[in-house]
Chain A
Amino acid sequence: MSFSVNRRRSLWWGVSLAVILSGLAAMAFSWASLGSPLRLGLDFIGGTRLQLELACSATGTCSQPIDIDAVRQILNEQGLGNSSLQVVDQYGLSIRTTPLNVDRRTRLTDALTQRIGNFDPQKTQIETVGPTLGEEILRSGLLALLVSFVGITVYLTLRFQFDYACFALVALVHDVLVTTGVFAILGLVAGVEIDSLFIVALLTIIGFSVNDTVVIYDRVRETLKLNPDLDIKEVVDQAVVQTLGRSINTTLTTLLPLMTIFIFGGDTLRYFALALIIGFTTGAYSSIFIASTLLAWWRDRQPPRPAANTLETTPTP
C-alpha cells in the first residue's frame, strides 16, 4: 500500500484543528465587535434594503451619475443617518436601513425620486424583514441543522454501528465549523453577511458530505466482513485508497456546476455557491482524512475481541 492516511494522521488532524481554531478566533473577535459570531444579514436581524436604478440608465440618457452625498443628506434628514449606502454602477443605489414601515419607506423613496431622479420600477428591489421574524428564521434554521444531525446519526447507527455514526457526525461538525469559520473571516475582512441561504447551504453540506464518509465506511465494513482479522488501520487505509477516485471525482462533478453558479449566477446566489464550494471541499477532506483516521484510532484502542485472533500488528512509525 503506497498511501496510508493513518500514518500521517497527526498532520491531518493538525491542519483541521488549525483551520477550525482560526475560524473560532474570527468568530470570537466578531462576537466582540459585532455582537454575533458571524455578520448576520437582513434575514436574521431585520431591516430594509432598497435597490433602485435610475430609469434613464436603460436608455443611456442619464446626464450624471448618482451623487452619493446628496443621497446621504436625504438619509440624514430622515433620521436614517447610520444606514449603509452604496452606489452600484453609477446609476444604481443600494440602501440598507433599520426596518422601515410603509410610510417611512414611501417618504424615503419619494424624497429620492424628487431630488435624485426617476427610478425604473422594473429594476426596483425592496426587502423588509421585521426583527421578530428574523429571529424566528434564525431559530428554525438552527433547529433544522440540529434535527438533521440527529437524524443522520440515528440512520447511520441503524445501518452501521454507533461509533461509525459518531465519527461521521464529528466529520460533519468539522465541515460546518470550517465553513462558518471561513464566513466569519469573510465577514470581518470583506463584510460578507450570512442570510437564510447560508443555513440552506450548511444543511446541503451535511447532506452531501456525509455521503463521502458513508462510502468509505461502507468499504471498511465490506472489507472487515471478508477479512475480520485484518488490522483496522490497514482496512481503513485500503478503503480510503479504493474509494479515493470516486471521492475526488464526485466532489469535482459537484463543484463544476457550483463554479458556474458562482461565476454566472448573479449576486443572490454567489455567496450561497461559495459556501457550498467551501463546504463540499472540506467535506471530501474530512471524509478522507478525519472520519477514517478517527475510526481507525478508536477501533485500534478497543481491546481485541476474544474470538478474534490477535495477529502481529505493524506499529505505526
Chain B
Amino acid sequence: MGKYRGWLIVILVLLMAATWVILRTPARLGLDLRGGAQLTLQVQATDKVPQITPQVLAAVQGVVQRRIDGLGVAEAVVQTAGEDKLLVQLPGVTDPQQAERILKGTAQLLFAAQKPGTEAQLQIERQLQSQLLLEQAQLLAEQAKNADNPEALKEIEAKLAKNRESLEKSQQAIASLFEPSDLTGAMLREAFASPIAPGSPNWSVIVRFDSQGAELFAQLTKEIAGTGRSLGIFLDNRLISAPTVSVEYAQTGIVGGSAEISGGFNAQSANDLAIQLQGGALPVPLEVVENRTVGASLGQDSIRDSLYAGLAGLGLVLIFMVAYYRLPGLIADIALILYAIFTYAAFLLFGVTLTLPGIAGFILSIGMAVDANVLIFERTREELRAGKTLYRAVESGFDRAFASILDSNVTTLIACAALFALGTGFVRGFAVTLAIGIGISMFTALTCSRTFLFYAISIPSLRKPNWFCPKLESVR
C-alpha cells in the first residue's frame, strides 16, 4: 500500500501547514463582525465633468483618502468600486457623521500668495505640522497594535484627539500666513508628474491652467517672484505644496498658463502631488449612497452566534454520517474535519475578509462537502449488494461517482461565478468563500477519504463488509 502511504504523508504535511497558517495568521474580519462604518460614495457627474473616467475616479479617490487620513482612523481603507463609486471602510467608527460630513463636499483647491514678512513663521509652523503628522502616524500604529487592550486604547484615543486638535490649529495658523487669490482648482486644466530629464531620478509636477487661470497665475507669481515668499497651494484648506518663484519672473510673472513645480520630488511624491492637484481641480460632488454601520459588540454577538451555529452544524453532520455510513462515515468525518481546517486556512492564506454571509457560506459548505462522499458510499453499497468484493466495490464507488461529483460542483461554481461577477461587496465575499470551499471539498472528499478508506481496508480486521453496508446478507 505504498501509494496510499505517500498520500498520507502529503495530507499530514498539508495538515501541519494549515495548522501553522491558522495559528500564525490573524483572521481578517469584515466590519459587520469587528464593528465599524462602511460608506459607499457615488461620484456625481456634472456639466464640466460629464463622464466619470477611471482617471477622474482615481483623482477623487486621492482626495477622499486625504480627507479620511485627516480623521485619524486606524486602518481606514478607501477603494474604488465599480465605475463611479468609492468604498470607505472605517473600522471602529460607530457614528460616522463626521466622516459623512467631510466626505460629501467638492474638493477645494486654492492658490494663495504668502504674506510679506512671514517667512520664518511659516518655516516654524510647517515644521510643527510635520511633527504633528509624524506623531499621528505613530499613534495610529499604536492604536492598531493595542486593538484588544481597551485601557491603552482609551489613552491613545485621547492623545489622538489632542493631536487632531493641534493639527487643525496648525492648519489654521498656516492658512493665516497666506493671502487667498481668485485662482482656484476649477481653472486648473491638468496636472501631471514627469521626470526633469528623460531617465532622471528627479521629478517635477507640470501644471496647466485655462486662459483665465493663466492670467491670474501670472499676476500671482509676479507678486512673489524673487521675494523668497512662496505660492501656497491648499487642498481642502490644507497646505499641500509651497513652491517659491525665482527672480527671473519678477517682471511678468509666469506667463503662458503652464508651470513646473520642482525640487526634491521623486516619481512617487511627484505623482502624489499631481493626483492631489487633479482631485482638487475636479468639480465633482460626492454623495453618500450607502452607509452600513455596526457597533462592535453587535459584531461580537454575531461571531458568537455563528460559532455556535457552525459547531452545532458540523457536529450534527458528523453524527449523521457515522450513524448512517458506519466505517466509511467515520472516514468521511475525518475528511470533513480536514475540509474545515484546510478551508479556514485557505481563507487566511488568500486574505479573504470574513463577513457574516461569508461565514454562513462556510457553514453551508460543510453540509455540501459531504455530498461527494455520500455519492461514493451509496455507490459502494450498491456495488456490494450487486455481489462485488469489498475492494472492488470501494474502487468502483469512487470511479463511477466521479462524473456526478464533477458535474454537480461545476454547476455550483457557475452560480458562484455569476455571483462574483455581478455582485458587490459582501455578495462577492459569499461567492469566494463558497467557491474555495467547493474546490477544497473536491480534494478532501476524493483524495483524502479515498486514501483513508483504502488504507483502512488494507488492515484485515477492518475488512468487514457489514461495516460498510449494514444488512448485507452474505459476507464474502
Contact = CB atoms under 8 A, between A and B. Distances in A.
A151 to B, nearest CB: 4
Nearest to A46: B289
Interface stretch (B94-102, B189-197, B250-258): B94-102
Nearest to A58: B297
B324 A263 contact: no
A264 B316 contact: no
Nearest to A148: B418
B247 interface: no
A167 interface: no
Contacts of B378: 243, 245-246, 249
Contact of A207 (B312, B367, B382, B412): B412
A308 to B, nearest CB: 24
B317 A265 contact: no
Contact of A130 (B101, B290, B371): B290
B415 A121 contact: no
B147 to A, nearest CB: 14
A152 B416 CA distance: 11
A204 B361 CA distance: 9
Contact of B317 (A147, A242, A257): A257
A120 interface: yes
Contacts of A203: 415, 418-419
A144 interface: yes
Interface in A263-291: 263-266, 268-269, 272-273, 276
Interface string A96-136: 00000110011001000000000011111111111011000
B321 interface: yes
B417 interface: yes
A159 B288 CA distance: 47
Nearest to A246: B378
A252 B69 CA distance: 50
Interface in B350-386: 356-357, 360-361, 363-364, 366-368, 370-371, 374-375, 378, 381-382
A261 to B, nearest CB: 5
A156 B404 CA distance: 12
A211 B288 contact: no
Contacts of A206: 415
Given A204-B415, A261-B309, A269-B360, A122 B407 contact: no
B312 A264 contact: yes
B424 interface: yes
A269 B313 contact: no
B415 A254 contact: no
Contact of A137 (B308, B366, B424): B424
Chain B binding site: helix, strand, loop or mixed by DSSP? helix
B100 to A, nearest CB: 4
A256 B95 contact: no
Contact of A272 (B357, B370, B403, B408): B357
Contact of B363 (A143, A222, A257): A257
Interface residues of B, number: 78
A252 B416 contact: no
A261 B360 contact: yes
Contact of B364 (A130, A147, A250, A254): A254
B308 A197 contact: no
Interface string B394-412: 0000001001100110111
Interface in A142-168: 143-145, 147-148, 151-152, 155-156, 159
Interface string B259-299: 00000000000000000000000000001111111111110
A255 B294 CA distance: 29
A252 B320 contact: yes
Interface in A182-214: 196-197, 199-200, 203-204, 206-208, 210-211, 214
With most chain B CB atoms within 10 A of its CB, the pick from A141, A156, A203, A268 is A203
Contacts, number: 229
A215 B418 contact: no
B50 to A, nearest CB: 18
Contact of A214 (B37, B295, B404, B422): B404
B287 A130 contact: yes
A260 interface: yes
A304 to B, nearest CB: 27
Nearest to A129: B290
Contact of B297 (A122, A199, A272): A122
A52 to B, nearest CB: 9
A214 B408 contact: yes
With most chain A CB atoms within 10 A of its CB, the pick from B101, B312, B321, B374 is B374
Nearest to A145: B418
B434 interface: yes
A124 B356 contact: no
Given A130-B290, A264-B309, A265-B309, A200 B419 contact: yes
Given A144-B419, A257-B366, A261-B309, A102 B404 contact: no
Contacts of B320: 249, 252-253, 256
Contacts of B404: 214-215, 218-219
B416 to A, nearest CB: 7
A258 interface: yes
Contacts of B292: 126-128
B298 A123 contact: yes
A133 to B, nearest CB: 4
Given A102-B97, A106-B97, A133-B290, 17 more contacts: A125-B294, A207-B411, A211-B371, A211-B407, A215-B404, A218-B407, A249-B320, A250-B375, A256-B317, A257-B316, A258-B313, A258-B364, A259-B316, A261-B309, A264-B306, A264-B312, A265-B305
Interface of B: 32, 35, 37, 40, 42, 94-97, 100-101, 104, 287-298, 301-302, 305-306, 308-310, 312-314, 316-317, 320-321, 324, 356-357, 360-361, 363-364, 366-368, 370-371, 374-375, 378, 381-382, 400, 403-404, 407-408, 410-419, 421-424, 426-427, 430, 434
10 contacts: A122-B297, A124-B94, A130-B288, A137-B424, A144-B423, A196-B426, A215-B407, A256-B317, A264-B308, A269-B360
**3 closest Cβ pairs, A-B complex:** A257-B313, A207-B415, A211-B408
Interface of A: 101-102, 105-106, 109, 120-130, 132-133, 137, 140-141, 143-145, 147-148, 151-152, 155-156, 159, 196-197, 199-200, 203-204, 206-208, 210-211, 214-215, 218-219, 222, 242-243, 245-246, 249-250, 252-261, 263-266, 268-269, 272-273, 276
